[in-house]
Amino acid sequence: MENVILELDNEIATVILNRPKQFNAFDLDTIKKFSKTILKISHDPSIKGLIITGRGRGFCCGGDLRWIESCGEDYGKSFHILSSYFHQGILEIRNMPKPVIAAINGLAAGGGFSLALACDFRIMERSAVLRQAYTSNGLSIDGGGTFTLPRLVGMSRAMEIATFDLEITAEKALSWGLVNEVVENGNSLNRCMELMVELKNRSLSSFAVIKRLINESFNNSFENRLEKEREALSFCGNHPNGREGIKAFLEKRKPVFNKI
């Protein structure tokens, strides 16, 4: 049985974690395949967007602690190896110039929680639950969670989640800004596909530039941001999508993007 499934439909890739009995936890083989698949998608110009979800009742519950235990007494070494592959995948998700949406169909905990937060958008089913889970197991957060979490919910709430390992319902996740939308059970993947179809008809070059600018914004001065925004705007203005958008506006019609 394939533990990572890649489906392609209408220029949209869907990556499905397929270890349902383990709530799609990452052992070494799974995380290697996952990160390799994400890298392939990132560099495939025929793919316009990515959806990540899980099979069964879980989205992903992070690192497989049974695998960690099976590797021997040096748990630290096992985590070091596992997280190195995990972080390769997370970096590709954050850096790829394509929209990435998490279809949170069930429990997202530990690395699965960080994985969901690393995506550009998150659609969560009503019965799904988020948990950071690390600290309840005497561990610390990886997968970029200490970067994304406080930026989504603020420092105080992030500390609360990290300290007390709150079980976060879909309604609470929405009110706290952890997810973009809550849908009925079984509908997360379909809703993500709807959003991807809409995104495909927007200027993907604009999306790529804005994603990069927002990613960089936390590490630069305001003056630097202004200059980077000026450069990006000039780039977009000369891009075929920018030219089409301006022309369509002047001609009072709907633009047709991404023709190249």
Fold (topology level) of 204-250? Lyase 2-enoyl-coa Hydratase; Chain  A, domain 2 (1.10.12)
Q: Please state, for a pLDDT cut of 90, what percent of the chain lies above it.
A: 80
User: Taking the domains of the chain in order of start, what are their residue ranges?
Assistant: 4-200, 204-250
Q: In the CATH hierarchy, which fold is given to the domain comprising 4-200?
A: 2-enoyl-CoA Hydratase; Chain A, domain 1 (3.90.226)
For 23-44, write each residue's pLDDT tens digit. 999 999 999 999 999 999 999 9
Has residue 259 got a pLDDT over 70?
no
Q: Over the stretch 3-29, which tens digit does the pLDDT of each residue have?
A: 999 999 999 999 999 999 999 999 999
Compute the C-alpha angle 109/33/162, nearest 5°. Answer: 20
Per-residue pLDDT at 260: 53
Instruction: Give the pLDDT confidence of 212-246 residue by residue, as tens digits.
Output: 999 998 887 878 878 887 888 888 888 999 888 88
Backbone angles phi, psi at 7, to 5 degrees: -115, 140
* Shared fold status for 4-200 and 204-250: no
Is pTM, for the whole model, over 0.85? yes
d(CA 153, CA 145) in angstroms, rounded, equals 12
Res. 83 pLDDT band, cuts 50 70 90: very high
The backbone region for 44, taken as left when phi is positive above 0, alpha when psi lies in -120 to 50, beta otherwise, is beta
In the prediction, which pLDDT does 158 show? 97
